[in-house]
A = this chain, B = another copy of it.
Amino acid sequence: MANQYAQLSAVFYALADPTRCAIVSRLGRGPETVSTLAAPFAMALPSFMKHLSVLERSGLIRSNKVGRVRTCELVPAPLSEAQRWIAEQRATWEARSDRMAAFVENLHQEELSDVQPKRRPR
């Protein structure tokens, strides 16, 4: 039952860290070299590379090395998939809330119409 969520979980796991969220956010504005990406973070380069590796395994980014310079870029498809899944859950929840609200409103109207006929004969 839960296997259908394996790929999605890898994407959410990749996003489950403030540094990795910040990297995704930065790469949304365009490809960047590893050294430029790493600069704002108070972190040793090997630790930073581990974050890039998690992002790359999830499919959210890809990288390419030319000479000694590695450049990373965002891959938008997994973000779309994650967004679609969240949107589906919210839509299901909202449809249920709408049905609940309609049910309560009906109940309220029925109670009113039950009350009014009793009053009329007086």
A residues within 8 Å of B by Cβ? Answer: 1-6, 8-10, 12-13, 15-19, 21-22, 24-25, 27-30, 40-41, 74, 76, 79-80, 82-83, 85-87, 89-90, 92-94, 96
Contacts and interface: CB of A to CB of B under 8 A. Distances in A.
Given A28-B92, A29-B92, A79-B86, A16 B16 contact: yes
A58 to B, nearest CB: 10
Contacts of A94: 76
A15 B9 contact: yes
For the residues of A in contact with B, the DSSP-based class is: helix
Contacts of A10: 16
A41 B83 contact: no
A40 B21 CA distance: 32
A83 B79 CA distance: 10
B9 A16 contact: yes
B22 A2 contact: yes
Contact of A28 (B16, B18, B96): B96
**Which of A16, A24, A79, A92 has the most chain B CB atoms inside 10 A of its CB?**
A16
Contact of A89 (B3, B28, B40): B28
